[in-house]
Structure 1
């Protein structure tokens, strides 16, 4: 009788959840920041919340906040 390595026995008792089908992931599409994007960001900063600026630019709030930080633009909307 041939003994199998230990990881084969564990796999036989506890099969992987989800089967063998690979899961689909969303492809990330990166876009350059245009001059008009930067102009819009700067004009809306200090007046508009980050989420609304992000929707106007069709970007994520994290990407919008990161770009504002790189430009030295404050997104704080408090008076």
Structure 2
């Protein structure tokens, strides 16, 4: 059975999953991801969890490299 978002009932295309990975890697807020992908925040979180994509920001200083 294919993964489906909870709001639209549409399957996730491979390019959408790649874009989700890219956006998550760029530390994009879930709300922005939602607008870019046309999916609800709940659908984004659900798909990220099922694909083992972390939506948590990396543990980095907001001030950049202080060395």
Give the alignment's TM-score, normalised by structure 1: 0.60
Query: How many equivalent residue pairs?
Result: 52
Q: Which residue of 1 aligns with 2:14?
A: 35
1:77 Cα deviation (Å)? 2.1
The two structures, once aligned, show a CA RMSD in angstroms of 1.4
**Higher CA-based Rg:** 1
For structure 2, list consecutive stretches of 5 or more residues without a partner in the other structure.
1-6, 60-67
Give the alignment's TM-score, normalised by structure 2: 0.70
Q: Which runs of 4+ in 1 moved over 6 A?
A: none
Structure with the bigger RCO (C-alpha within 8 Å, sep 6+) is 2
Q: Which residue of 2 aligns with 1:64?
A: 44
For structure 1, list consecutive stretches of 5 or more residues without a partner in the other structure.
1-27
